Amino acid sequence: MYSFLLKLSVITGLFITVCAKSIREVGLHEEFLDERYYNTTEIANLLYKIEKQNPMIARVHEIGESSLGQSILAIEITSNIGQSRRILKPMFKYIANMHGDETVGLQLLLYLAQYLTSLYGSDDRVSRIVDTTDIFLMPTLNPDGYSASQEGDCNSQKGYAGRNNAKGVDLNRNFPQIDKKSFNMQQPETRAVIEWILNNPFVLSANFHGGAVVASYPFDKYYRNISQGGKTPDDALFRYLSIKYASKNPKMANGSACQEEHFKNGITNGAEWYELEGGMQDFNYIYSNCFEITIELTCCKFPSPSVLTKEWEYNRESLLTYMESVHMGIKGLVQDENNNPIPGATIHIVGINHTVKTTNRGEYWRLLLPGIYTISANAPGYNASVYRNILVKNDTLRSTTVNFTLHTLKQSSELIDVDTSNVVIDLSHWNVNVDFGMAKSNGTVAVIHKATQGIRNIDSCYRTRRIAAEKEGLLWGAYHFGTNTNGVIQANHFLNQVGNTSATLLVLNVEPYKNNIMTQKQVEDFIKTVQNITNNFVMIYASYNTLKNYSTPFLLKTPLWIALYNTQLKLPPGWDKWVLWQYTDGKKGLWPHGVNGVGLCDRDKFNGSIDKLRAFW
């Protein structure tokens, strides 16, 4: 009897498993719906478990740390996760719990992560979403606040403990804004998410809160000079996106879920509801290409966990529909006539005063309502390109593709008379047996030497050669070989090695190293930091092709030292001035390929006479 029962239960167990799977496949029953809140340890464990179980479509990212050192995690869900993002696949994000005591969104994102990963491959809609979208879910941006919050607290505690981070700061008042441009005052949580937003081309986003039931859209403030009545130039689109979310959630669509307030269609403009400054959704719109709205989920901020299943039911369709909206409008590539991507090109829609910019790979995404548009792409150094009568269909599953080819404007190309009268050479420890006396008598006027690389490395010859060169009365310069790490730290490392900078030309060398290269931001951070500390200008050194990726307004104004081993000098789009031209690396390019006392080496031409060179230095 005993063994028979056991057998039966095994068989029944099997049967139930099979059965449950087929029910789950049609999305009616979700095994992951345990009605309780996960603490921050459990959240991390769950996210890593999802990653482990779905290595092809899920990956956990730590985007920063909270004030108390807890990890701020996001899980990425998309097909082909191990590879770099497929070109033109849009990035989407959901962020919850930036107010640590507003907790329902946190659990919903944990459910959503499990829903997407468990149904991928069996449910057509989920598979399509995961295949076409690079999704990021961040259950909590404020783990410290969450840990300090109390289950059952419908309103914030005294002093906003739990709502705020551990330093007592409300993170949704902590973002830089249009008339408060400081990027230095932020909390660690805010800084982490700002870097994340600025360094990734997110297209669409929502941010979950509690204490009301409504979808609220930018602006959150009446910026008197750029908006009328708190409206963004994309007001109609934001209203549409908000209604998309609200209309699928019966409680939100009703508009009167919480007693004291009524929201028509379950949506509101942020500023119209109540004004706030330093919010995340305004930051997204003002400083990035991303469109974000704020979703308030429950009247009670930290309700009993018994509401969680119901809240998942109310929000599941909204969550999916809103993610699908990332495909509204147009997307495409902006390239030059040789099919090279143009980073930082601006996409302008006639009639909407809000532009988006292309990524390093030349991609852009522009969310738009169905309609007919005139669209232009612009980049410094290129002829603008305009398309008229672009039809955007009412199809949120597929964007309209509009690619642009921009033609390079006439270059300032000039034949340079390469004389040896103003010899500038640049060296590093790779050049051995250096005799500056001989180099000087062969016409050398100035030497630029490698000082440092990355955040640790120093050039072993820098100091001794500096002394030797100064003894010969040669002008001296120092360059830093930048790597793909923090620009401020690199700047300080460089200055430590260079020491007294007053008679030294300072250069940042931007070139690939181990398949990596500094980002635009790292380059700017480096230069600005050195300038700030030394009060001297910094020159940027890079090849013609590399420079094309760094045509930011700031860098276009930076003194240029260009490497181009060509018979003619040609400047990349955007740059109209050069100071130094490295015309040979000792092997390629114009002659001569070296100098007495050094042998084959990098030689550089200064734009001007020796007197001008001395004056410039």
Ligand X SMILES: *[C@@H]1O[C@H](CO)[C@@H](O)[C@H](O)[C@H]1NC(C)=O
Residues belonging to the active site? 296
Residues numbered 17-56 forming contacts with ligand X, rule: CB under 6 A: 39, 41-42
Q: Is 503 in the site for ligand X (CB under 6 A)?
A: yes
Q: How far apart are CA 94 and CA 102, in angstroms?
A: 15
Number of alpha carbons in the 13 Å side-chain half-sphere of residue 7: 4
Region at 184 (left for phi over 0; alpha for psi -120 to 50; beta for the rest) = alpha
Applying CB under 6 A, does 412 fall inside the site for ligand X?
A: yes
Among 27, 121, 370, 586, binds ligand X (CB under 6 A): 370
- Selected binder of ligand X within 22, 516, 532, 568 (CB under 6 A): 532
* Interface pattern 270-299 for ligand X (x via CB under 6 A): ------------------------------
Q: Which is nearer to ligand X, 176 or 594 (CB)?
A: 594
Asked whether 490 and 483 are in contact (CB, 8 A), the reply is yes
Site for ligand X in 81-140 (CB under 6 A): 87
Asked if 400 contacts 393 with a C-beta cutoff of 8 angstroms, the reply is yes
Cross-strand bridge partners of residue 447 = 425, 476
Q: How far is the CB of 514 from ligand X (least distance, A)?
A: 13
Tell me the window of 115-123, 207-215, 477-485, 589-597 that interacts with ligand X (CB under 6 A): 589-597
Respond yes or no on whether the N-terminal peptide bond of residue 512 is cis (omega within 30° of 0).
no
401 lies in the binding site for ligand X (CB under 6 A): yes
- Minimum distance between the CB of residue 517 and ligand X, rounded to whole angstroms? 6
User: Interface with ligand X includes 226 (CB under 6 A)?
Assistant: yes
Please report whether residue 403 would count as binding ligand X according to CB under 6 A.
yes
Choose which of 219, 578, 581, 583 interacts with ligand X (CB under 6 A). Answer: 578
Cis bond upstream, residue 219 (ω within 30): yes
C-alpha–C-alpha distance, residues 367 and 360, integer Å = 19
3-state secondary structure of 5: helix
Q: Which of 226, 547, 203, 229 is nearest to 399 (CA)?
A: 203
**Backbone torsion region of residue 443, taken as left when φ is above 0, otherwise alpha when ψ lies between -120 and 50, otherwise beta:** left
Stretch that binds ligand X, among 64-72, 99-107, 189-197, 498-506 (CB under 6 A): 498-506
Chosen residue from 49, 52, 612, 614 binding ligand X by CB under 6 A? 612
User: Looking at 3, 394, 433, 515, which residue binds ligand X (CB under 6 A)?
Assistant: 394
Smallest gap from residue 106 Cβ to ligand X (A): 14
The answer to whether 269 and 216 are in contact (CB under 8 A) is: yes
- Total residues binding ligand X (CB under 6 A): 48
Distance from C-alpha of 243 to C-alpha of 266, rounded to nearest angstrom: 7
Distance CA 150, CA 147 (A): 8
Q: Which C-beta is closer to ligand X: that of 388 or that of 577?
A: 577
Q: Does the protein bind ligand X through residue 500 (CB under 6 A)?
A: yes
CA–centroid distance for 247 within its chain? 31
- How many separate helices (H) and strands (E) can be counted in the chain? 18, 27
Which stretch in 11-19, 108-116, 160-168, 591-599 sits in contact with ligand X by CB under 6 A?
591-599
Greatest extent of the chain over all pairs of C-alpha atoms, in Å? 106
Q: Which residues bind ligand X (CB under 6 A)?
A: 39, 41-42, 87, 178-179, 225-226, 240, 254-256, 332-333, 353, 360-361, 369-370, 383, 394, 401, 403, 407, 409, 412, 420, 442-443, 500, 502-503, 512, 517, 528-529, 532, 545-546, 549, 577-578, 592, 594, 596, 607-608, 612
